[in-house]
Structure 1
């Protein structure tokens, strides 16, 4: 599953609507090879083309990032194991983890 498919699934999943933010939240996800930005908002989930100041940063190896975004491993679990780095508030961590977990396959 690639990032575009993950974003489409997040946007289509009606169960997630109550968890999405009223105010736009920009998330930066990066590994050694690439960085991308996406927006979580009550209107949906969108890939952001231009670099902007993110509210949340997630860094790690591609395999770990894919496991998080497909719900195979929880966000907090991968942070505790040292697989990824997370920058953001604890509240945003919990919210994002819930969104990703509920969107799992």
Structure 2
């Protein structure tokens, strides 16, 4: 696997018309914020997700993932498939251990 070297762009970030458009509605992230993240050195969907929280809202990226992917790809002048997809993870919540034993007992009785 090739090692990625992330370097912030040395050129000044230039705002474009439409940068104030909200792309991720759940987290209220704009097109300009995504473009700036790429300008700051983020080059994959997961990096932008961790940097901005895009795709971490209520819809879990179902609404915005393709849009964010397209913006990143256009900024990097590459294909959207090369940017990757958001890595899904299960929500982490504390669970009492007794719940697991109740479920096992219920299954054994059937």
TM-score bracket, shorter-length normalisation: 0.3 to 0.5
The TM-score with structure 2 as length reference comes to: 0.32
More strand by share: 1
The TM-score with structure 1 as length reference comes to: 0.33
Q: Which has the larger radius of gyration?
A: 2
